[in-house]
Every structure is written in structure tokens, then in C-alpha cells.
């Protein structure tokens, strides 16, 4: 076993096992690479010791130190954390429990784009959170939401079969979509071609 000077030794917290700084640096770097939050003693037989972050500042690269710091911060926040919904940002944000319930439109302090604090998605102006949750994942894009907002404003209805929007100019509530589905323009319930009365909404 190679002798290491005291100044080059790393003492592990809560177990007092000693290792050379270089070995601990490589060990910690590997654990950070594996996204391990709490790094135990390098001795595989030891269950008491753990490596604290601050003594590692000078034995691992700054980039790894910063990454580990962020991981520990995120771990300590638990359910109080969430991320900016924009994929090119994804900044770590902290819940403000008093305000999040009341406020919907929120600006990310990092990318300065608006998002919904309740739904944790890009801002959906003109569309209620409840309506948004009913939409499929393929309907939540920016242009999809603009179309949904326009449909709400114009009171368009959706075909229950193909989900296409339909606009009624005049006539009764019985609609025939281009997919051949008959439905009620008032409530979107499927209807019979022969019956011009909706049993679902009694119209």
C-alpha cells in the first residue's frame, strides 16, 4: 500500500476512513456521473461513512462540483421543485405554494416566457386548465391551442368520431361530419341520421 502524506489524505465523514485525494476525486466523479445523490464511503464494507460535498471542492473539477451541488439542492427541495416547461430552458423553479394556487400565468425568470403555474405547460391563454387537461398530447402544440381558442370564441363544435372542428351556419342541431358521423352540434353527442332530436341534451 502506498503511503500518502496527511495533506493529500481525504477523511470520510462519520467513519474516519482515509483515502488519497486522487482516488476519492475519481470515486466521487464516477458517482456524480451515475446521478448518485448521497455518496457513501468508498470502502465497500463501510455503511456508516459518507462523502460530504464541501471537502471535495478542490479534488473534483468545478463543473462536477456544480452539478453535484444542483443535484443536492434538487434533492433537498423534494416536492417543492418543478421545471420550466420549455425544453430549451428546463430551469429549476421552486413552488410558491401560497401563490401557485391562485395565479395561473407565470413568467420563467430564466427564459422570460410565460407558462401556466397550475398545468406546468406553456401559457394557454383563453383555454381553461380543465379544458387543456382533456386534450390529447398531440393537441397541445402552440397552433393547436390557437385553434382551440378560436373554436371556443366562434363556438365551433368537435365531431365525436374524428375530432375535427365543425361550424354550423344555420339549420337544426343534427350535424353530419365529413367522416360520415352524425352528432349534436350543441353537446357533440353521437346522433341517429333519422332522429333530429338529441337524447343527451334534450334538444
Which residue, 23, 27, 21, 57, is CA-closest to 39?
A: 27
β-pairing, 165-166 with 157-158? antiparallel
Cβ(8)–Cβ(21) below 8 Å = yes
The predicted structure's pLDDT at residue 103: 67
70 shares a domain with 10: yes
Residue 66 lies in a domain: yes
In this prediction, residues 59-80 reach a mean pLDDT of 87
150 shares a domain with 96: yes
Q: Pick from 76, 103, 121: which residue ends a domain?
A: 76
181 shares a domain with 143: no
The predicted structure's pLDDT at residue 146: 82
Instruction: Report how far residue 56's alpha carbon sits from residue 79's, in angstroms, rounded to the nearest whole number.
Output: 27
- pTM tops 0.85, yes or no: no
Tens of pLDDT, residues 81-136: 888 999 899 888 887 765 545 667 889 999 999 998 888 888 888 888 888 888 77
Instruction: Report how far residue 112's alpha carbon sits from residue 100's, in angstroms, rounded to the nearest whole number.
Output: 17
| Average pLDDT over all residues of the chain | 86
Count other C-beta atoms under 10 Å from residue 173's C-beta: 17
Cβ(59)–Cβ(22) below 8 Å = yes
Domain total of the chain: 3
Higher pLDDT, 159 or 75: 159
69 shares a domain with 20: yes
Residue 1 lies in a domain: no
142 shares a domain with 120: yes
**Domain enclosing residue 145, as ranges:** 84-154
The predicted structure's pLDDT at residue 25: 94
In this prediction, residues 36-43 reach a mean pLDDT of 91
The predicted structure's pLDDT at residue 136: 76
164 shares a domain with 149: no
DSSP string across 94-125? E--HHHHTT--EEE-TTT--EEETTTTEE--T
180 shares a domain with 148: no
Cβ within 8 Å of residue 34, ≥6 positions away: none
Q: What is the CATH number of the domain that holds 17?
A: 3.30.40.10
What band does 10 get if pLDDT is binned at 50, 70 and 90?
Answer: very high
176 shares a domain with 124: no
What band does 23 get if pLDDT is binned at 50, 70 and 90?
Answer: very high
In this prediction, residues 36-46 reach a mean pLDDT of 91
Amino acid at each position: 500500500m502506498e503511503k500518502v502524506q496527511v495533506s493529500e489524505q481525504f477523511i470520510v465523514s462519520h467513519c474516519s476512513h482515509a483515502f488519497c485525494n486522487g482516488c476519492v476525486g475519481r470515486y466521487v466523479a464516477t458517482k456524480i456521473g451515475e446521478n448518485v445523490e448521497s455518496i457513501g464511503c468508498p470502502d465497500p464494507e463501510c455503511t456508516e461513512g459518507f462523502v460530504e460535498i464541501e471537502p471535495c471542492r478542490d479534488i473534483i473539477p468545478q463543473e462536477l462540483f456544480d452539478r453535484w451541488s444542483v443535484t443536492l439542492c434538487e434533492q433537498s427541495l423534494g416536492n417543492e421543485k418543478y421545471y420550466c416547461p420549455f425544453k430549451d430552458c428546463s430551469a429549476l423553479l421552486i413552488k410558491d405554494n401560497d401563490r401557485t394556487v391562485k395565479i395561473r400565468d407565470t413568467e420563467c425568470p430564466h427564459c422570460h416566457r410565460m407558462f401556466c403555474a397550475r398545468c406546468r405547460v406553456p401559457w394557454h391563454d383563453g383555454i381553461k386548465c380543465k379544458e387543456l387537461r382533456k386534450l390529447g398530447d398531440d393537441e397541445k402544440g402552440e397552433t393547436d391551442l390557437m385553434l382551440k381558442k378560436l373554436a371556443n370564441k366562434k363556438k365551433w363544435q368537435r365531431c365525436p368520431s374524428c375530432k375535427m372542428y365543425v361550424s354550423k351556419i344555420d339549420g337544426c342541431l343534427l350535424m353530419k361530419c365529413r367522416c360520415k358521423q352524425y352528432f349534436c352540434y350543441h353537446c357533440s353527442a353521437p346522433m341517429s341520421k333519422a332522429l333530429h332530436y338529441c337524447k343527451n341534451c334534450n334538444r
